[in-house]
């Protein structure tokens, strides 16, 4: 028994069905791109009136005990007070190292934090605060840092 579709199954019909299928697939791709936030052609950039986004990083996330590391930041207000706190474990105690700086006229910071030789190797966090003084400050970031043991030559 030979069953045929009412519209036929010739080359012309197959070609037309394939064309319709491609249009449907293309339409679905466009809809998916719109829903998923596909990038569009660049347009004019307008200044944002929202909050300024601070950029803060530890220049090296892996450091050696007995050395130091630098915290770099940008987009701070000129002369804004920035506090950096690094708490570490030694063999017999927990100690904190704190540095304070003010952002320069371009809003940049670069405080250097010393790491004593008696730091136990491991993973730590560096906390960055802004505020007028040590009692009136707000945590704005906690960055990971890994301390390695001192390498002796």
**Averaged over 105-128, what is the pLDDT?**
94
Identify the top-confidence range among 51-60, 99-108, 128-137: 99-108
Q: What value does the mean pLDDT of the chain take?
A: 77
pLDDT score for 134: 79
Please, which residues bridge with residue 72 across strands? 57
The CATH homologous superfamily of the domain defined by 55-148: Macroglobulin (MG2) domain (2.60.40.1930)
Distance CA 103, CA 74 (A): 8
pLDDT score for 150: 83
pLDDT surpasses 60 at 93: yes
pLDDT score for 129: 95
Residue 109 is classified by DSSP as: B
Percent above pLDDT 90 for the chain: 48
128 in helix, strand or coil? strand
pLDDT surpasses 90 at 11: no
Q: Lowest mean pLDDT: which of 5-9, 68-72, 128-132?
A: 5-9
Are the C-beta atoms of 101 and 79 separated by less than 8 Å? no
Residue 135 is classified by DSSP as: T
């Amino acid at each position: 028994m030979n069953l045929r579709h009412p519209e036929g199954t010739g080359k012309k019909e197959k070609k037309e069905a394939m064309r319709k299928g491609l249009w449907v697939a293309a339409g679905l791709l466009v809809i998916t791109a719109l829903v998923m936030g596909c990038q569009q052609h660049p347009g004019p950039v307008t200044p944002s009136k929202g909050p300024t986004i601070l950029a803060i990083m530890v220049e090296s996330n892996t450091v050696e005990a007995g050395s130091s590391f630098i915290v770099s930041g940008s987009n701070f207000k000129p002369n804004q007070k920035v506090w950096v706190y690094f708490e570490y474990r030694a063999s017999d105690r927990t100690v904190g190292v704190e540095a304070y700086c003010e952002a320069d006229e371009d809003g940049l910071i670069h405080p250097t934090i010393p790491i004593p030789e008696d730091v136990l190797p491991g993973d730590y966090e560096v906390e960055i605060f802004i505020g007028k003084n040590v009692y009136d400050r707000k945590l704005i970031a906690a960055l990971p840092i890994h301390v390695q043991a001192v390498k002796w030559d």
